[in-house]
């Protein structure tokens, strides 16, 4: 078992140190998500899906909306709603924009229009044929065009820091990056 100590510096940076011990229970200290007024220590998300075959209706607890999923006809679906893999790409794109809005507030950057394109290559041999291996995405590419008040274009250090911070703080980006997928991104700063 590992005991994890999290030290919080005044700059809101996070340091993690692990020590091996079979007798110690894990301990965790939380840092603030951001300087935003609505930030909380944790964000619980609960969903429940019900359906038959490949069609599923997903309820998000405490919210009035529902999400429909299906899959491609080649996988036995009717293609009547986006597939779970399409939603994973959509999740990455929209979480990038949401996280970018949070980070921009923290860094005093004004934003305008976003254009986020996500492309993934998903090998199907494990999913469809049952072959051995990893059914994870092979490659994921994100291309972000965003209007900001940062002068100096895409190579401006302030804009580059903004893009890096968005990717570091975005939970869905980190889900992909830490899964081992070949992840790449391109950020383009357009004038506001």
Full domain range(s) for residue 8: 1-31
**Are both 8 and 60 inside the same structural domain?**
no
**Structural domain contains residue 10:** yes
% the chain with pLDDT above 70: 79
Per-residue pLDDT tens over the stretch 54-106? 999 999 999 999 999 999 998 999 999 999 999 999 999 999 999 999 999 99
- How many whole angstroms separate alpha carbon 76 and alpha carbon 73? 5
**Structural domain contains residue 7:** yes
**Are both 77 and 157 inside the same structural domain?**
no
Number of domains in the chain: 3
Bridge partner list, 139: 121, 182
**Are both 105 and 182 inside the same structural domain?**
yes
Could you tell me the pLDDT band of residue 17, with boundaries at 50, 70 and 90?
very low
**Structural domain contains residue 135:** yes
**Are both 187 and 119 inside the same structural domain?**
yes
Task: Tell me: pLDDT of 27 over 80.
Answer: no
**Are both 1 and 68 inside the same structural domain?**
no
Q: Would you state the pLDDT for residue 93?
A: 99
Q: Would you state the pLDDT for residue 39?
A: 56
**Are both 47 and 112 inside the same structural domain?**
no
């Amino acid at each position: 078992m590992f005991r994890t100590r999290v030290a919080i510096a005044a700059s809101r940076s996070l340091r993690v140190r692990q020590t091996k011990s079979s007798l110690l229970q894990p301990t965790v200290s939380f840092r603030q998500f951001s300087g935003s007024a609505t930030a909380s220590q944790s964000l619980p998300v609960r969903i429940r899906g019900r359906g038959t075959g490949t069609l599923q209706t997903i309820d998000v607890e405490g919210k009035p909306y529902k999400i429909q999923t299906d899959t491609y006809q080649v996988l036995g679906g009717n293609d009547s709603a986006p597939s779970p893999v399409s939603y994973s790409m959509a999740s990455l794109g929209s979480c990038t924009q949401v996280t970018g809005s949070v980070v921009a507030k923290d860094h005093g950057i004004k934003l305008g229009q976003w254009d986020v394109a996500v492309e993934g290559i998903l090998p199907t041999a494990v999913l469809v044929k049952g072959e051995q291996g990893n059914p994870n995405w092979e490659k994921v590419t994100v291309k972000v065009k965003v209007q900001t008040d940062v002068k100096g274009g895409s190579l401006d250090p302030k804009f580059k820091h903004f893009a890096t911070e968005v990717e570091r703080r975005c939970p869905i980006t980190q889900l992909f990056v830490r899964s081992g997928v070949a992840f790449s991104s391109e950020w383009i700063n357009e004038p506001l």
